[in-house]
Amino acid sequence: MAEMSANANVQIDASAPAPIHVRINGVTYTAQEGTTILELCRREGIHIPTLCNHPDLTTKGICRICVVEVVGSRTLQAACATPISEGMEILTTSEKVRKSRRTILELLLANHYTDCTVCPKNLNCELQDLANEFGLTDLRWKERRERTVPQDFSSPVFVRDNNKCILCQRCVRACDDLQGVYAVANLFKGDRTIVGSAFNRPIADIVCINCGQCVAHCPTGALYEKRSVDDVWRAIDDPERVVVIQTAPAIRAALGEAFGYPPGTRVTGRMVAALKAMGFDHVFDTQFAADLTILEEAHELLDRLKRTLVGGEKGLLPMTTSCSPGWIKYQEHFFPELLPNVSTCKSPQQMFGAVLKTHWAKSMGISAQRVVSVSAMPCTAKKFEAMRPEMSSHGLADVDHVLTTRELAGMIKQAGIDLKEMPEASFDDPLGRSTGAATIFGVTGGVMEAALRTAYEVITGREVPFEHLDIVPVRGMEGVRRASVRIEQARSPWAFLEGVELKLLITHGTANARQVMTSLREGTLDAHFIEIMTCPGGCLGGGGQPLPVTPEKRIARAAALYAEDAAHAQRKSHDNPAAQALYRDFLGEPNSHLAHELLHTRYVARGRY
């Protein structure tokens, strides 16, 4: 019988302080000490505009658009940074407040390069929304009609345009608080202040992991992803090309938001129908390759355990996952000495491309040179991953073009398709077949759970002992989570694992991963297997997902993926019949020589500067 435990450090204060009473616009409310005015107003449904504030990030109180009037205070107060106090009287819509907010907006717009109709963030810009909310049709200080700062196109995945920056520092805090990269900061002083990297170097010359969290948290068009839409349309329009698209698990739980669906609505079938209507020759599922990843990764973990516990080799454990390209680049920069701990498995995106341009193309009688491999991903870092020289098979790139979820939504709209009007359709065979285990790749803890479902059964011959295969201890949104599995009644040749407690760790957001890897480097971490996802919540919180990003949206998307997993007829990667056929007819077995040639890779140490 296997046992699993999850660490929990929950402390309950039995002597909670008495609630604080405040009046907002003449109505009395209560809240706990430490609550800010903004938090209380949001709880009670009282609208206060914000720009620099974001629930993912530390509070700075920079933009001042959230100012409110506190009776008795000499100046207006920033609601996001002002805690309530007993007896406080707050006015959120007084004349003084309205005039101040309007003036702040006018000043921001006066220093903002306005090409709104052709801006990538048009109709999805928080500054534009506030200008409309306040009815700013005529400004006292005219907005800028020319760029005064050069744009930075050097990044492989996104563009920085400081002419549209409002200095809210959300990108800075996303890079610092969430990712621990510290790539950008405020430079210079006064009216020359801009956001940039050290010595104002181009993005390509600094340590950047291409995760896109700066883009996802930017309220204006100062940051936006480089787009591959036109390249994909050209491929579709070329009769000599066979254009194949794969779609990642997290896409199906987020794409609908761009078409008015509530967050967490699954639109899998309608998405497939739309892609076929747009002219893609074959519509496949990245989840097929996620099942391959699990088969390869689970067997790699077992091999490392055997070489460590039986052979006495050092430096193989803990094994860390390798399917998140932002994390891989982070480790290449910050922890290169620990690269031997990284699984050699390619990500599902890259495994899919490798299989597509070799076995699938040959089986279809199509020259690999004619195949255009397109992926739809929630992640801007996938664009960089596809460009890596390691990610090729027989001289051809595994993946030719990467579309973010936002780009895919734009293409669907360009095609005149309303997703809500599309019928349900199914992915094409055979690379459209997958299991529920592959679906949960899109949420933090999902790769760990999928791997355990397979590895446990390989070791013991039995399913993981959790109701409906739901390994609840590895789920959740905590930044770092621990769990363990005790192996009992292990089969030969895995008898050496009898009685071993497999220690597991799950983390998301590279700032959290940095803490984990620092402990590993210092020799204080006790674990066998670590799942690391670059973005908050995993892929469903990726830098290419629909805007705006919020914790509530990530939770809703996670629930959608778990629901799709639960409803799936096959929920273990090794039960995927298409994957079984691929091994039988082509690869041989997991971790075979051919599997290593196509589905595995190595990464490189990069400098810090």
539 is catalytic: yes
- Residue 96 is predicted with a pLDDT of 97
535 is catalytic: no
Is there a domain that residue 332 lies in?
A: yes
Is there a domain that residue 60 lies in?
A: no
Domain final residue, candidates 377, 400, 421: 421
Nearest alpha carbon to residue 401 among 225, 244, 223: 244
Going along 313-409, which residue ranges are E strands?
A: 319-320, 371-377, 392-393, 396-397, 401-404
Q: Which residues of the chain have pLDDT under 50?
A: 1-12
Q: What is the CA radius of gyration of the chain?
A: 25
382 is catalytic: yes
Q: 67-70 and 89-91: which strand pairing?
A: antiparallel
Expressed as residue numbers, the domain containing 529 is 294-344+434-599
Is there a domain that residue 247 lies in?
A: yes
Q: Which of 126, 257, 332, 385 is catalytic?
A: 385
Shared domain for 454 and 366, answered yes or no, is: no
Shared domain for 275 and 384, answered yes or no, is: yes
Contact predicate 130/65, CB 8 Å? yes
Shared domain for 389 and 537, answered yes or no, is: no
Task: Give 99's DSSP letter.
Answer: H
- Residue 143 is predicted with a pLDDT of 67
The CATH code of the domain that includes 592 is 3.40.950.10
Is 196 in a helix, a strand, or coil? strand
Q: Which of 121, 346, 382, 572 is catalytic?
A: 382
Global pTM?
Answer: 0.93
Shared domain for 494 and 594, answered yes or no, is: yes
> Which residues, at least 6 apart from 57, have a Cβ–Cβ distance to it below 8 Å?
170, 173, 174, 177, 178, 217
- Residue 393 is predicted with a pLDDT of 77
Q: Which of 257, 300, 332, 449 is catalytic?
A: 300
343 is catalytic: yes
- Residue 378 is predicted with a pLDDT of 98
80 is catalytic: no
Shared domain for 385 and 505, answered yes or no, is: no
Residue environment code for 117-137, b if the CB has 16+ CB neighbours within 10 A, otherwise e: eebbbeebbbbbebbeebebe
Contact predicate 53/81, CB 8 Å? no
Dist. CA 48–CA 38, nearest whole Å: 7
- The number of domains in the chain is 2
Is 544 in a helix, a strand, or coil? coil
Q: Which of 52, 214, 323, 535 is catalytic?
A: 323
Dist. CA 373–CA 247, nearest whole Å: 11
Is there a domain that residue 129 lies in?
A: no
Is there a domain that residue 496 lies in?
A: yes
Dist. CA 487–CA 1, nearest whole Å: 7
Shared domain for 333 and 451, answered yes or no, is: yes
351-375 pLDDT tens trace:
999 999 999 999 999 999 999 999 9
> Which residues, at least 6 apart from 408, have a Cβ–Cβ distance to it below 8 Å?
247, 251, 255, 376
Shared domain for 592 and 529, answered yes or no, is: yes
Q: Which of 39, 69, 257, 297 is catalytic?
A: 297
Shared domain for 371 and 339, answered yes or no, is: no
Domain final residue, candidates 399, 421, 443: 421
Domain final residue, candidates 394, 421, 448: 421
Q: Which of 125, 168, 214, 539 is catalytic?
A: 539
212-243 pLDDT tens trace:
999 999 999 999 999 999 999 999 999 999 99
Shared domain for 284 and 300, answered yes or no, is: no
Is there a domain that residue 559 lies in?
A: yes
Shared domain for 354 and 237, answered yes or no, is: yes
Shared domain for 260 and 402, answered yes or no, is: yes
Report which secondary-structure segment, H or E, holds 289: helix 286-309
Q: Which of 343, 393, 484, 573 is catalytic?
A: 343
126 is catalytic: no
323 is catalytic: yes
Shared domain for 466 and 564, answered yes or no, is: yes
